[in-house]
Amino acid sequence: MRKVDHVGIAVADLDEARRTWDALLGQTPVVEDVPTQKVRTATYPCGIELVAPQSPESPISRFLAKRGPGIHHVTLAVDDIAGELARLKSQGVKLVNEAPVKGAGGLPVAFLQPVGGVLVELKEKRR
């Protein structure tokens, strides 16, 4: 595990949330659809990622219904996602994605089952 890459924040309305976060961070995000998660994301250079559902079946819709808006996940950059998933599995860590899927930026990502109330995503990212 190399470094926290970003923090994913669940929001109901991306445009409304952007008004708040653009001003707070003083930055402009990259906006992108991520079909595998049925979400649209707005990622700021500082590592804050707003995540809005694009379907009632999105995991973010369920999160918002249960918890309301707030931090949804933390993403750790790794050099070798397949290797990390194998290491975690051998230690008994439960995985949501047994194999990587395509995340924001087209990069390979995988979610672990929540650990101590925390949803962790791994992202394979070139240094």
Q: Which residues here bind its own copies, judged by CB under 8 A? A: 1-4, 6-7, 9, 11, 17, 20-21, 23-27, 44, 46-48, 67-71, 74, 76, 87-88, 91, 93, 112, 115-118, 120
CA pair distance 84, 12, nearest whole angstrom: 32
For residue 111, the number of C-alpha atoms closer than 13 Å in the C-beta half-sphere is 13
Smallest separation (angstroms) from its own copies to the CB of 117: 3
Task: Report the residue number, 35 or 119, with the smaller CB distance to its own copies.
Answer: 119
Question: What is the maximal distance between C-alpha atoms in the chain?
Answer: 44
Task: Report the residue number, 26 or 56, with the smaller CB distance to its own copies.
Answer: 26
Smallest separation (angstroms) from its own copies to the CB of 69: 4
Task: Map 67-101 to HEC letters.
Answer: HCCEEEEEEEEECCHHHHHHHHHHCCCCECCCCCE
Smallest separation (angstroms) from its own copies to the CB of 65: 14
CA pair distance 50, 41, nearest whole angstrom: 5
Smallest separation (angstroms) from its own copies to the CB of 25: 5
Task: Report the residue number, 24 or 35, with the smaller CB distance to its own copies.
Answer: 24
